[in-house]
Structure 1
């Protein structure tokens, strides 16, 4: 189950792979008068399992406050396929532009073990909220 605290950090645990996301609205990159709203998000993944995993694929579902959906699939994250041994942590930052003042993101990462096992680690749903939206998505 995803949890959020006062700092805006969202976290999910899938079989020991802990995925935490912290989004931040980027006022300087956004242009509300042109329907451009931009967020940065930092993802931290921690391997709390006894298995070494390599991240191979990412999947994102992005829904804006007007109900428009985007799906993003690709290899690795930010051009990398990090290998996480037990206890290792990997962190990266990326961004998401929307044409609406708020939205939600969720997704998953596919990891593969040295033995060829697959793990689909859930990325918790997280809010993309800006000060320009009068109604927040539920």
Structure 2
């Protein structure tokens, strides 16, 4: 099972009892390289391997384009949701990232809260945004 998950989600990070997995796909149909626009979708799975219920409150992304320019994104929840993740359960969502370069990276963190009110900062693994055919 773990091997299958690593094939589906090649990027992962573990913080305490929380695992964050990411898969990324280049979307040629939403990209316009001739106009300086490249677009990727990313699928995130947040797994709660602990014994406490957690809720995702905030996200923080650091996006680097191919020129090394950084863009910070902070906000409540993810894709309009502040999911509650029960012990042994996971939460999946898909979002996207446009860039004006054909390569980049994303990394960041989520802030979660457990049933006692304790805040947890959970790492999102760094992943690469790469246009197919580039090395």
TM value normalised by structure 1: 0.90
- Which residue pairs with 1:14 in the alignment? 15
Pairs within 5 Å for 1:60-71: 60-71=61-72
CA contact (8 A) 1:103 1:127 kept: yes
* TM-fit CA distance, 1:16: 1.2
- Which residue pairs with 1:89 in the alignment? 90
- Which residue pairs with 1:117 in the alignment? 118
Distance 1:103 1:28 in 2: 18
- Which residue pairs with 1:28 in the alignment? 29
Distance 2:79 2:8 in 1: 24
Q: 1:106 to 1:46 in 2, by over 3 A?
A: same
* Larger helix percent: 2
User: Which stretches of structure 1, 4 residues or longer, exceed 4 Å deviation after superposition?
Assistant: 5-8
Paired residue secondary structure (1:62):
strand
Paired residue secondary structure (1:56):
strand
Consecutive unaligned residues in structure 2, runs of 5 or more: 1-5
Corresponding pairs, count: 131
Q: 1:78 to 1:12 in 2, by over 3 A?
A: same
- Which residue pairs with 1:41 in the alignment? 42
CA displacement 1:111-131 (0-9 Å, x = unmatched):
001211011110000000003
Pairs within 5 Å for 1:48-67: 48-67=49-68
CA contact (8 A) 1:50 1:86 kept: yes
CA displacement 1:61-80 (0-9 Å, x = unmatched):
00011111110000000000
Distance 1:102 1:55 in 2: 29
